Amino acid sequence: MRPVAVVGTGKTPFGAFPERDLRSLAVESVHKCLENSGLTADQAEAFYLGNFAGPSFVGQNHLAPYIATEAGIRDVPCTRIEAACASSGSAFFHAWAAVAAGIYDIVLVAGVEKMTSQSTARVAEILAGAGDMAGEMAAGATFPALFAMIAKRHMYEFGTTREQLAQVAVKNHHHGAMNPMAHMRKEITVEKALAGKMICDPLTVFDCSLVSDGAACVALAAVDRARDFRAKPVRVLGIAQTSGPVALDQKESITTFEAVRRAGEKAYKMAGVAAADIQFAELHDCFTIAEILATEDLGFVPKGQGGPYAASGATALGGARPVNASGGLKSKGHPVGATGVAQICDVVEQLRGEAGERQIAGARLGLAQNLGGSGATAVVTILGLE
C-alpha cells in the first residue's frame, strides 16, 4: 500500500436551496475542488460518489455518471456508494484504497444530498430506510426514537444528563455561527436547548441534526504526485471502515457503537498514533448523544464519561480537544450523502490553517468519524501534515 494525500477540497454551503437541484450542487463542489487542487477534470482517473437516497429524494438514479458528465469527467469508472449517512465516508474509503493499491494515481470523491424538496414526514420516511424496516421501523420507530432510547439508556447506566446533551448543541451552534458555510449560524443557550420542542424524550429539536441540501468533494492522489498540485497536501495517515448490526436489539449494548470502536482502533494502528494524540475531531453528531458516544468509543474518554467531558469545555474551541469546530451536523447541516466528505474537507481546512476565526492553533493531526444508521457503518479517517 502506498501513501495517499488529499490534494484538493471543495464544498457548497449547506442549507435549504429550493432553486438548486442535486446535480448542480454536486458539480459546484467538484469544480471548486478542481480549482483548489489545480487539477483539470480530464486528469481524474476515477470518480466516486457518496449518496444515500437521490432516487427517493429527487427521483434520479444512475447518479455517478449523471454528475460526472456534467462536471466534465468522462471515460473513467464512475461509481455511486450508498452506506446511509456514511455514504461519502465510505466512498472516500474505497477511493483511498484504489489509490493506495496503485490502481489509480488521481481520483475525485464527492458526496451530495438534496433533501429539502420533500416534506419533513417524507424525509423521515426516506431516512428510516437506513434502519431495520422489517423490525424497528415496522413497529413505528424512527431514528429520533432510536437515538432517544440510546440516550435514555446512557442516562440510566452512566448518569448522563439532559444538560450535558444540551452542552453539545450549544457548543456546536457556537462553532457553526462562525462558519460561513453552515446551515444554521445561530447561537443558543443551554436554557433554550432544554426548552426546545420535544421530538422524542429526552431529545428536543436542538438535539437533532438538520435536514439540509449540499455537496462536498475532495481530490486524492498518490503522495509522490501530491507536489504536482496547487494546494498543500494532507496525508491520509490511517483509515478504516467497519460494520455492525443494523437493529438495536442485535447489539450487545446500545450505549456503544462497536463499529466505531473497531474502526477507531484500526485507524489508530495504521496511523501509528493513539487516541490521546488526536488534537481535534469532526464527529458524527446526528444527535447530541451520538457525539457523546463517539468521544467514548474513540477512546477520548473512558466509557460513561462523554457527558461530563462535553460539559467541561474540553471539546470547545480553545479546549483540550476541539470537536466539530465546523459546527458539526447540528449546526453546519447534514445533507446525509455529503456529510462524510464534508468532514474530510473540514479537517483538511484546519490542517492547512484555513479555518479563519475557527482555526485551531497548531493543528497537525485530526480525525473524522462518519456514522451510518444507528451504528451499522462506521468510517474513521486520521489526517495529518507531512
The rounded distance, in Å, linking the Cα atoms of 77 and 221 is 16
Q: What are phi and psi of 267, to 5 degrees?
A: -65, -40
Whether 334 is catalytic is yes
Q: What are phi and psi of 269, to 5 degrees?
A: -65, -45
Please identify which of the residues 154, 286, 334, 345 carries the catalytic annotation.
Answer: 334
Whether 33 is catalytic is no
The rounded distance, in Å, linking the Cα atoms of 94 and 89 is 9
Under DSSP, the state recorded for 313 is T
Please identify which of the residues 85, 200, 208, 217 carries the catalytic annotation.
Answer: 85
The angle formed by the CA atoms of residues 289, 291 and 295, to the nearest 5 degrees, is: 120
Q: Please report where in the chains the cell 479563519 appears, as a residue.
A: 356
Under DSSP, the state recorded for 287 is B
Whether cis (ω within 30° of 0) applies to the bond prior to 202 is: yes
Under DSSP, the state recorded for 229 is S
The rounded distance, in Å, linking the Cα atoms of 280 and 285 is 15
On the 0-12 / 13-18 / 19+ scale of CB atoms within 10 A, 370 is: buried
Q: Please report where in the chains the cell 495517499 appears, as a residue.
A: 4
On the 0-12 / 13-18 / 19+ scale of CB atoms within 10 A, 232 is: middle
The rounded distance, in Å, linking the Cα atoms of 239 and 382 is 6
The rounded distance, in Å, linking the Cα atoms of 369 and 346 is 12
Q: Are 86 and 314 in contact, with CB atoms under 8 Å apart?
A: no
State the virtual CA torsion across 62, 64, 68, 73 in degrees, nearest 10.
-110
Q: Are 241 and 379 in contact, with CB atoms under 8 Å apart?
A: yes
Which residues are marked as active site? 85, 334
